[in-house]
């Protein structure tokens, strides 16, 4: 209010042109990323949320004239006897492959390679390249590679067991979930390794020198200094590989196609089967929305963990 002005409001001050010029590079720099994010993530997510409320199908009259059905697809999903087993398989697959497999193995590989590089070991580069080779392979190629590894009659694993005097193992029949966890861990550990290798390079060496002076052994230096320094980037890496693993289905489709029965049917593969094998796009979209909500829950947990004090 302006004193003595009869209650008239002060006019809004225009934004200085200098401020606009300073903000313009940031706006134009973020615009392409925002457009790509909207086009490939936000847009499809909103479409899936809408489609989950309809009876959209790939064939038949529902494909030509889909109807709004509300929460009917979600009610059907809650009553689906296979859905509880799919969720259980998904949790086992994500915990085994992303949390225990890719995260722990990737961190271990990063620590070993970083240690070897600091000591000047030449084999560190060879190990680095070998791990990356598994990651750059296309998913389908990696799947067929592990099909050859797990083959009952001529597979590499059973050939090795035969040389050791042991009998063959039906890996994909007796241990299907373990098999797909091993295959996905082998392929995805390189991504986590790369992230942690970059993070390890940013930790000042003075911290470790001071810890050595204080008498801390290797384990105490790792627990008290390395892990706290890696916590923020570790949470982002864990979030990334968890969401990626939840969406994995091509590798499982190549190895087992969800079998035997539904023992390796994870939620992404289940959504694919319902949408494109049963032609129920609306029902498959409802499964995809549930998968998105689970990913959001994991994201909240990981981000809170990253911000927690050591």
pLDDT digits (tens, 9 = 90+) for 224-265: 888 888 888 888 898 889 989 998 999 999 999 999 999 999
Say how far apart CA 209 and CA 200 lie, in whole Å.
15
> What's the average model confidence in pLDDT over 77-83?
91
- Asked if 280 contacts 274 with a C-beta cutoff of 8 angstroms, the reply is yes
Domain 73-307 classification at class level? mainly alpha
Say how far apart CA 229 and CA 232 lie, in whole Å.
7
3-class secondary structure for the chain? Answer: CCCCCCCCCCCCCCCCHHHHHHHHHHHHHHHHHHHHHHHHHHHHHHHHHHHCCECCCCCCHHHHCCCECCCHHHHHHHCCCCHHHHHHHHHHHHHHHHHHHHHHHHHHHHHHHHHHHHHCCCHHHHHHHHHHHHHHCCHHHHHHHHHHHHCCCCCHHHHHHHHCCCCCCCHHHHCHHHHHHHHHHHHHHHHHHHHHHHHHHCCCHHHHHHHHHCCCCHHHHHHHHHHHHHHHHHHHHHHHHHHHHHCCCHHHHHHCCCCCCCCCCCHHHHHHHHHHHCCCHHHHHHHHHHHHHHHHHHHHHHHHHHHCCC
- Asked if 94 contacts 291 with a C-beta cutoff of 8 angstroms, the reply is no
pLDDT for 127 equals 84
Which candidate, 111, 53, 100, places its Cα nearest to that of 77?
53
Say how far apart CA 172 and CA 151 lie, in whole Å.
8
Q: What does each C-alpha distance from 9 to 16, 102, 210, 212 come to in angstroms? A: 21, 60, 61, 65
**Mutual orientation of helices 156-163 and 139-150 as an angle, nearest 10°?**
30
Confidence of residue 1 (pLDDT cuts 50, 70, 90): very low
Taking only the tens place, the pLDDT of each residue in 84-109 is 999 999 999 999 999 999 999 999 99
Confidence of residue 310 (pLDDT cuts 50, 70, 90): very low
Say how far apart CA 52 and CA 283 lie, in whole Å.
6
- Asked if 243 contacts 45 with a C-beta cutoff of 8 angstroms, the reply is no
Q: What is the pTM of this model?
A: 0.83
pLDDT for 255 equals 95
Which candidate, 259, 226, 243, places its Cα nearest to that of 107?
226
Q: Which of 126-130, 151-155, 282-286 has the lowest mean pLDDT?
A: 126-130
């Amino acid at each position: 209010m302006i004193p003595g002005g009869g209650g008239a409001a002060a006019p809004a001050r225009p934004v200085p042109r200098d401020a606009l010029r300073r903000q313009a590079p940031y706006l134009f720099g973020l615009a392409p990323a925002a457009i790509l994010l909207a086009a490939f993530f936000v847009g499809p997510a909103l479409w899936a949320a809408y489609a989950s409320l309809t009876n959209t199908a790939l064939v038949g009259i529902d494909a030509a004239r889909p109807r709004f059905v509300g929460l009917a697809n979600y009610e059907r999903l809650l009553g689906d006897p296979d859905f509880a087993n799919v969720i259980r398989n998904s949790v086992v697959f994500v915990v085994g492959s992303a949390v225990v497999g890719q995260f722990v193995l990737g961190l271990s590989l990063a620590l070993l390679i970083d240690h070897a590089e600091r000591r000047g070991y030449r084999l560190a580069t060879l190990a680095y390249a070998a791990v990356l080779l598994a990651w750059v392979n296309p998913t389908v190629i990696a799947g067929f590679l592990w099909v050859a590894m797990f083959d009952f009659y001529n597979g590499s694993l059973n050939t090795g067991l035969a040389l050791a005097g042991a009998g063959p193992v039906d890996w994909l029949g007796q241990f299907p979930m373990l098999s797909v966890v091993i295959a996905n861990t082998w392929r995805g550990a390189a991504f986590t390794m790369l992230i942690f290798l970059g993070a390890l390079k940013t930790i000042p060496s003075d911290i470790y020198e001071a810890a050595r002076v204080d008498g801390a052994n290797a384990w105490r230096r790792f627990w008290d200094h390395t892990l706290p320094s890696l916590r923020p980037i570790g949470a982002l890496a864990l979030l990334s590989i968890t969401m990626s693993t939840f969406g994995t289905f091509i590798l499982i489709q190549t190895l087992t196609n969800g079998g035997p029965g539904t023992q390796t049917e994870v939620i992404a593969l289940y959504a694919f089967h319902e949408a494109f094998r049963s032609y129920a796009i609306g029902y498959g979209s409802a499964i995809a929305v549930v998968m998105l909500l689970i990913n959001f829950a994991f994201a909240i947990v990981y981000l809170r963990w990253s911000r927690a004090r050591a």
